[in-house]
Amino acid sequence: MMHDAGPFIDWILTKGRHEGLQTLTDALGPRLRAAGIPLMRLRMGMRTTHPLIAAVSHIWDPGGNDAEDKAQLRAPHGIETRATYIGSPMEIISTTHGPYRRRLDDTLGPDDHLILHELKARGASDWYGRPIHFATGTYGIIIFVADGAGFSTEDIALLDTISEVLAPVVEARRHDHIANAIATSYLGPRTGQRVLDGQITRGDIEQIEAAILFSDIRGWTALNATEPAETVLDIANRYFEVMSDAIDNNGGEILKFTGDGVLALFPSDGSDAGQVNACRQALSAAHAALGIAALADLPVPFGTGIHYGELLYGNVGARERLDFTVLGQSVNIASRVEAFCGRLGEPVLLSDTVAQLTGMPTRHVSTETLKGLDTPMPLHAPAGGGAPANS
């Protein structure tokens, strides 16, 4: 039976192109089924740019194992070396850059990949996959799995036409995914979203209030002088992982890695409650970092300084090379407070402002004149090991 591709093309180019890829996949599967295609599973996969994820997939499979499908949605780097990929139809398509079909109602042998055996056990009769070629020269892969009598020649022709029409739509969504991944990885979720929303002009700056957390490794210069570069890099990455987990889990955002240090913000709306909550979140993150570091057996000590105040948040730099950052005296104070951690033997130090705003027990450690400030500032440390409860 010949199929009319027109309604599918119209839908993809009008409504479908405005949808996210999972929504598009979830809608396309039933439409194909309703048109007489014996489809039981549909999958679209593509490479992405992400520090943890090599490829993403979007799956429609109403009779499948939801947990297994969710696990396939994010493929880690190194997937090419795993048994789930080696010898699979996906690898064949990736190697040949052409379509691949395998009838599953035939006898499958030991050379047929496990995924084909698993699908056949579920009642699948036909497997068809092909590349979706993008304008950039890269490609995605779309997979159609049938039950019943399998795909006819006319079915395959329709699936090929739909795949070609889908290509620019999938490519556009892939670019969106990559842009979000890069912005989040290099700028953080809040700041990255601001850039994606168009806050990219030099001087595009706003004044905000926040708790500012600054942390760095103690003895970094000596470490670089005595240890191989690979060891130093490994220690730095482990330290950054500790700080990232602690800050992310307590409502903050890392704005910048500064060599051996971390600059993070805990934004506030400026209200009394907002100020208290931001400071408590930052203090909770500092406590959490010490706990995570101990569990991870981090081999170096580090100090953390916290201050609260107003700062400028936005774009600075040259005309065509910008940095999304924070500026202001409050940022300098947080850095200066942290610098006293080593000398005073304290892993966490709070400015007088933070000590008052948290409402938590603290102990006065010292009063010091911070570089750039004329008035000596009392420095405090948390009293005891308990982390504050956020308001």
For position 45, which CATH number holds?
3.30.450.40
Is there a domain that residue 173 lies in? yes
Instruction: State whether 63 and 101 are in the same domain.
Output: yes
Is there a domain that residue 74 lies in? yes
Q: How confident is the model at residue 71 (pLDDT cuts 50, 70, 90)?
A: very low
Is there a domain that residue 390 lies in? no
What mean pLDDT is predicted for residues 18-44?
A: 94
Helix 272-295 to helix 229-248 angle (10° resolution) is: 140
Instruction: State whether 144 and 204 are in the same domain.
Output: no
Q: Which of 154, 187, 220 is the last residue of a domain?
A: 187
Is there a domain that residue 126 lies in? yes
Instruction: State whether 214 and 240 are in the same domain.
Output: yes
How many folded domains does the chain comprise? Answer: 2
Q: How confident is the model at residue 386 (pLDDT cuts 50, 70, 90)?
A: very low
Instruction: State whether 137 and 219 are in the same domain.
Output: no
**What CATH number is associated with residue 227?**
3.30.70.1230
Helix 21-34 to helix 6-14 angle (10° resolution) is: 160
Written in H, E and C, the secondary structure of the chain is CCCCCHHHHHHHHHCHHHCCHHHHHHHHHHHHHHCCCCEEEEEEEEECCCCCEEEEEEEECCCCCHHHHHHHCEEECCHHHCCCCCCCHHHHHHHHCCCEEEECCCCCCCCCCHHHHHHHHCCCCEEEEEEEECCCCCEEEEEEEECCCCCCHHHHHHHHHHHHHHHHHHHHHHHHHHHHHHHHHHHCHHHHHHHHCCCCCCCCEEEEEEEEEEEEECCHHHHHHHCCHHHHHHHHHHHHHHHHHHHHCCCCEEEEEECCEEEEEEEECCCHHHHHHHHHHHHHHHHHHHHHHHHCCCCCCEEEEEEEEEEEEEEEECCCCEEEEEECHHHHHHHHHHHHHHHHCCCEEEEHHHHHHHCCCEEEEEEECCCCCCCCEEEEEECCCCCCCCC
Q: For 343-360, write each residue's pLDDT tens digit.
A: 999 999 999 999 999 999
Instruction: State whether 149 and 202 are in the same domain.
Output: no
Q: Which residue matches tokens 């080593």? A: 342
Q: Which of 129, 152, 187 is the last residue of a domain?
A: 187
Can you tell me the distance from the alpha carbon of 73 to that of 169, in angstroms, rounded to the nearest whole number? 19
Instruction: State whether 138 and 241 are in the same domain.
Output: no
Can you tell me the distance from the alpha carbon of 176 to that of 333, in angstroms, rounded to the nearest whole number? 38
Is there a domain that residue 76 lies in? yes
Q: Which of 161, 187, 213 is the last residue of a domain?
A: 187
More confident residue, 200 or 265: 265
Can you tell me the distance from the alpha carbon of 53 to that of 181, in angstroms, rounded to the nearest whole number? 10
Q: Percent of the chain beyond pLDDT 90?
A: 58
Instruction: State whether 356 and 218 are in the same domain.
Output: yes
Instruction: State whether 333 and 247 are in the same domain.
Output: yes
Q: For 109-152, write each residue's pLDDT tens digit.
A: 999 999 999 999 999 999 999 999 998 888 999 999 999 999 99
Res. 26: pLDDT tops 60: yes
Can you tell me the distance from the alpha carbon of 389 to that of 233, in angstroms, rounded to the nearest whole number? 34
Instruction: State whether 208 and 69 are in the same domain.
Output: no
Instruction: State whether 172 and 46 are in the same domain.
Output: yes
Instruction: State whether 163 and 48 are in the same domain.
Output: yes
- Highest mean pLDDT (candidates 135-139, 170-174, 276-280): 276-280
Is there a domain that residue 1 lies in? no
Is there a domain that residue 272 lies in? yes
Domain that holds residue 264: 198-382
Is there a domain that residue 363 lies in? yes
Instruction: State whether 143 and 265 are in the same domain.
Output: no
Max CA separation in the chain (angstroms)? 86
